[in-house]
Amino acid sequence: MTAKIMYGKPIAERIKQQAKETIQSLKNDSLVQPSIATVLVGDDAGSRLYMRLRDKACAEVGITPSHHILPKDTSTQELIDLIQVLNIDDSIHGILLQLPLPAQINSEQVISAIDPCKDVEGFTATNLGSLINGQERIIPCTPLAILKIIESEDISLQGKHVAIINHSMVVGKPLSMIFLNRNATVSVCHEFTHNFEKITQQADILITAAGKQHLITKKHIKKNAIVFDVAIIPTNKGVTGDVDIEDIIDSAQAITPVPGGVGPVTVACAIDNMVRIMHHQIGEPC
């Protein structure tokens, strides 16, 4: 049997369509114009590209984006001062801080200055902690994207063994909490793990975000595993992921491609989070 390819675009389109309808009805009911402020320090080309993609997605669903682009030698305090202005500005509903920040800035301090009720990416401690206590207020976009694909594909989680290759604050750690909240068994591997295949060979669901081309081959996965490839690795032939898709295509049950798998859903999930935040901003408890 050949693995099903789980394309992200139709899921992303559905999320954006739902967001568009919800935002339209919020606008009609509350006469509020949803607005998101992106804060960017420095002039990284990649970050600017990402901003343009997000602006496009915002325009599609009816959210007004604004940009605050600061010089690359901005201090931690200057950035916190801007965040605090945006926190109390009632015309701004969501704040999106473009990471990573330049080395001289204390990222933790800046992130913790964001009002959790305006935290589109779910990286404030209060929102991350809600993944541990099970409230799941705002889920970071990449973990949320994987969850949306799982729901869309009707994959059950209770009792399943999920292996995650990544232990960052952005992907692996929040994702592990989300799976535990749904009663999956969870193993988290990373660059310090010895013989990670001993774990991944047991996994019903494998999520890899290592950034190493051909890291995952047939010998690393269980027969009929469902595989999510979160890595985005630039090569001469375009971007690729961690998984040697040709090698596992006859062993896996399903796999997300790179590009066109988790990526587009992640962008849509920023919009989905924006809709959740809008609900808070018009009176629901945050």
Residues found near a second copy in the complex (CB under 8 A): 108, 111, 123-135, 137, 158-159, 161, 167, 169, 172-174, 176-177, 180, 183-190, 192-194, 196, 198-199, 202
Q: Which CB, 126 or 213, lies closer to a second copy?
A: 126
State the nearest-atom distance from the C-beta of 12 to a second copy, in Å: 26
SS (H, E, C) 118-162: HECCCCCHHHHHHHHCCCCCCCCHHHHHHHHHHHHCCCCCCCCEE
Q: Are 264 and 8 in contact (CB under 8 A)?
A: yes
Compare residues 6 and 147 and give the one whose CB is closer to a second copy. Answer: 147
Give least dist CB 174 to a second copy, A: 6
Rg (CA), the chain: 19
By beta-carbon proximity to a second copy, the closer residue of 68 and 190 is: 190
Beta-bridge partner residues of 238? 235
Residues 6+ apart with CB under 8 A from 271: 15, 16, 19, 57, 58, 61, 63
CA 237 to chain centre: 25
- CB 127 to a second copy: min, Å: 7
Closest approach of a second copy to the CB of residue 185, in Å? 4
- CB atoms under 10 Å from CB of 126, counted, come to 17
Select 49 or 132, whichever has its Cβ closest to a second copy.
132
Of residues 118 and 137, the one with the C-beta less far from a second copy: 137
Query: Nearest approach, Cβ of 250 to a second copy (angstroms)?
Result: 25
